[in-house]
Amino acid sequence: MSDTAFLHALETGEARVAQKDAQGVWQVDATVKQRILDYFAAHHVADMGIDDTSPYHGFVDKEGLHPRRFAPQDGVRLVPGGSSVRAGAFVARKVVIMPPAFVNIGAYIDEGTMVDSNALVGSCAYIGKYVHLSAGVQIGGVLEPVGQLPVIIEDNAFIGAGAAVLEGVRVGERAVVAAGTILSAATPIYDPIRQTIHKREVPANAVVVQGSRPLSNAAGIAEGLHIACPVIIKYRDDKTNAALQLEDFLR
């Protein structure tokens, strides 16, 4: 497959970094990640504009990675104001991207998702159907190691303003990540409801907020120090659902 055909396969969803297998377990296609890395290695940096009149003149990236353009028949709303969807990113119908936002190569954004202002969807991240990425959300990219799952946000999840989901963390279906919450691979997620600790994943329907816990070493105890940590305060109920309904009439 040529490089042009590979980028096209990413943009149509034919090539995907992550998807569920028959048992419902997420799997990573390391060959797709490796092909993206190979593309970077094989191409030179170039001016994106053909001449001085091009809207991309003065922007510099690897050859061939021009920002994507959409037509009304694509069913994607890319609102003017500084947003960019990099070549090799999949964006499904009914997705709304508010300015300014950035979607990186290898990312997969499924139907009906809202990407709000100042949001980042990093390389190879998977965003499911009817997800809401609020203003200022940071969805981290994961290219290396090639075998590591990217950040995965499953269907109907809600990510609050200024939250960050990083380093291959998976957010389950219909989960809610409150504004300002930071989730990373090294951060345990405390679940006092089910009396357990989750690593690298938020269970389906969980509502997560940014909390804190006391440091247990001598210095921490002596100084009364706490460290930030995400905490599951509840699982979604009718009240939560009513508060988080997407603005369907705007789509």
Helix (H), strand (E), coil (C) string for 14-43: CCCCEEECCCCCEEECHHHHHHHHHHHHHC
Whether 249 shows a pLDDT value over 50: the answer reads: no
In a domain, 218, yes or no: yes
Provide the domain limits for residue 222: 68-245
What mean pLDDT comes out for the span 169-173?
Answer: 98
Is 168 within the bounds of a domain? yes
CATH code at 79? 2.160.10.10
Could you tell me if residue 26 is inside a domain?
Answer: no
The pair of structure tokens assigned to 240 is: 């939560």
Rounded average pLDDT over 142-166: 95
**166 within some domain:** yes
When pLDDT is cut at 50, 70 and 90, the band that residue 58 belongs to is confident
Kindly state whether residue 171 falls inside one of the protein's structural domains: yes
**168: which residues sit within 8 A by CB, 6+ positions away?**
142, 148, 149, 150, 151, 152, 185, 200
Once rounded to an integer, what is the mean pLDDT over residues 114-136?
Answer: 97
* pLDDT of residue 54 exceeding 80: no
Please tell me the predicted confidence (pLDDT) of residue 216.
82
Phi–psi pair at 188, nearest 5 degrees: -70, 145
Residue 46 counted as domain residue: no
Question: DSSP string covering 196-220, please?
Answer: EEESSEE-TTEEEEEEEEE--SHHH
Task: Say yes or no to pLDDT of 89 above 50.
Answer: yes
Residue 196 lies in a domain: yes
Give the pLDDT confidence of 197-213 residue by residue, as tens digits.
999 999 999 999 999 98
The edge-to-edge listing of strands for the beta sheet with 138-139 is 84-85, 102-103, 120-121, 138-139, 164-165, 182-183
Query: Residue 32's pLDDT is what?
Result: 97
Q: How many domains does the chain have?
A: 1
* Beta-carbon count within 10 A of 60 CB: 10
Q: With a cut of 90, say whether residue 55 has pLDDT above it.
A: no
Q: How far is CA 71 from CA 15, 74, 97, 117, in A?
A: 22, 5, 14, 21
Per the domain annotation, does 2 fall within a domain?
A: no
pLDDT at position 250: 47
Percent of the chain predicted with pLDDT > 70 = 94
Per-residue pLDDT band for 244 (boundaries 50, 70, 90) equals: low
pTM for the predicted model, two decimal places? 0.92
